[in-house]
Amino acid sequence: MSNVIGARPPSWLRLVGFIALLWNLVGVAFYFGHVGILGGVFAPPAPGIAMPFWVSGAYAVGVFAGAIGSFGLALAREWSRLVLWISLIALAIDWGWVFLASGAGLQPLGIGVLAIAFLLVRLAATGEKKGWLD
């Protein structure tokens, strides 16, 4: 529960939430490319090491939870913090496999994805603490 009741969320919080939703929808599109639903720019690069099913599952949870959590943040909903935490943990599993087990090493995109996911969790936690989230 929030410490401040009735605090109005700042308009920039909703804007950040909608931008984060767009960012996460791009991630959803790349996931659909990964599983073969979308092609073109969303198709994965040349075949390398096959991603295990549990990593693909973490990928799906990460991007879909990120989109749902970002939508919740844009609506200033308290539940967005939990959903964004789920997204961060799932993305850490996904990118952890890419960094450590796939042989690809550290990838700038992965570092950026994890940093943004972490910042969204922190923003939701701050919003909850300040009473911005209902």
Q: Tell me the per-residue pLDDT of 2-18, one tens digit each, with 9 for 90 and over.
A: 455 567 889 999 999 99
Between 67 and 43, residue with greater pLDDT? 67
Other residues' Cβ atoms within 10 Å of the Cβ of residue 112: 10
pTM of the entire predicted model: 0.87
Rg (CA), the chain: 16
Q: Tell me the per-residue pLDDT of 93-120, one tens digit each, with 9 for 90 and over.
A: 999 998 888 777 678 889 999 999 999 9
Amino acid (1-letter code) at residue 133: L
